[in-house]
């Protein structure tokens, strides 16, 4: 059977459907993945720029490199909007089919697409966590990007030490709030909730992940062990080959509208 037809039928036959997403679902929004060639991560080693120590080291040794990195990140996030992959998952929720998205992404694009239940196991770039009291606060993305743009504009007077001024203050204790993202080596967030969702799922859509960052990468296996069927959508490989019921070899932004179209015909 055509894999798209099969996925549409599977979606209609199951009741507890979740989605597990990775960097690939945001690739069509212009945010580079870690493992695909080209772009930001060819210039900046994710092993270095993905750890707090690595960033501090780079900032101290080569401030201009950090400024360049932040400017490129800013360009990317100013332009990034949800794409048909994100909107497709929101449509699945609207059709009453999708309950929860577990994402490894930190870009907030599922929420911007309107998805209501999103577990961000690697945190969010647009949420702060107070270094003093631990309180979390949702940040105004547009405001944050404008402040960062103004801060980075002045190349001559750029000082790494002043980067701290960009960080928001905690509304409760006035401590410095760091971006609430999980760097390599730090514990993932909401893991118990994510495992519970995986174990309760009878079907899990896996989109845009190479499945190498643990423990999050184990969630589809945990769902499968609790009898969920796994559907994988990825244009470069069937990374969960041994547990997949169905694999669609396509970018998520092309596959999701086709699946939604078929579902609407079947409903």
| Residues within the interface to ligand NAD (CB under 6 A) | 22-28, 31, 33-36, 104-107, 122, 207-210, 212-213, 233-236, 251-253
Does 122 participate in catalysis according to the annotation? yes
Asked if 175 and 130 touch (Cβ cutoff 8 Å), the reply is yes
Buried b (16+ CB within 10 A) or exposed e, 62-78: eeeebbebbeebbebbe
Nearer to ligand NAD, 177 or 234 (CB): 234
Query: Which residue from 6, 4, 43 is spatially nearest to 229, judged by alpha carbons?
Result: 6
Nearer to ligand NAD, 66 or 73 (CB): 73
Nearest approach in angstroms of CB 179 to ligand NAD is: 12
Cα-Cα-Cα-Cα torsion 257, 258, 262, 267, nearest 10 degrees, comes to -10
Q: Give me the residue label for tokens 């760097």.
A: 183
User: Which one of the listed residues 86, 108, 110, 122 is annotated catalytic?
Assistant: 122
Nearest approach in angstroms of CB 157 to ligand NAD is: 30
Please give the residue whose beta carbon sits closest to ligand NAD in the complex: 24
Nearest approach in angstroms of CB 233 to ligand NAD is: 6
Q: Residue 15 has what DSSP assignment?
A: S
Nearest approach in angstroms of CB 72 to ligand NAD is: 13
Nearer to ligand NAD, 7 or 170 (CB): 7
- 17's enclosing H/E stretch is strand 17-21
Nearer to ligand NAD, 83 or 177 (CB): 83
Which of the residues are catalytic?
122
């Amino acid at each position: 059977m055509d894999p798209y037809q099969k996925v549409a039928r599977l979606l209609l036959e199951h009741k507890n459907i979740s989605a597990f997403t990775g960097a690939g679902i945001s690739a069509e929004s212009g945010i580079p993945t870690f493992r695909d060639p080209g772009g930001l991560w060819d210039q900046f080693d994710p092993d270095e720029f993905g750890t707090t120590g690595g960033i501090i080291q780079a900032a101290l040794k080569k401030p201009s490199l950090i400024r360049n990195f932040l400017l490129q990140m800013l360009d990317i996030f100013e332009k990034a909007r949800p794409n048909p992959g994100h909107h497709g998952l929101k449509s699945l929720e609207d059709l009453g089919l999708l309950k929860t998205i577990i994402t490894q992404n930190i870009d907030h694009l599922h929420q911007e697409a309107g998805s209501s239940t999103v577990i961000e196991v690697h945190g969010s770039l647009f949420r702060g966590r107070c270094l003093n009291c631990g309180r979390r606060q949702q940040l105004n993305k547009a405001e944050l990007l404008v402040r960062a743009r103004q801060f980075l504009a002045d190349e001559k007077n750029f000082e790494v030490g002043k980067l701290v001024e960009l960080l928001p203050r905690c509304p409760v204790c006035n401590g410095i709030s760091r971006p609430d993202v999980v760097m390599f080596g730090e514990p993932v967030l909401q893991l118990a909730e994510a495992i519970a969702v995986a174990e309760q799922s009878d079907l899990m859509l896996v989109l845009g992940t190479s499945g190498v960052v643990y423990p999050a990468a184990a969630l589809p296996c945990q769902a499968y062990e609790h009898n969920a069927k796994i559907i994988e959508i990825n244009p470069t490989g069937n990374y969960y080959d041994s547990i997949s019921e169905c694999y669609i070899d396509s970018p998520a932004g092309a596959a999701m509208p086709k699946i939604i179209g078929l579902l609407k015909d079947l409903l």
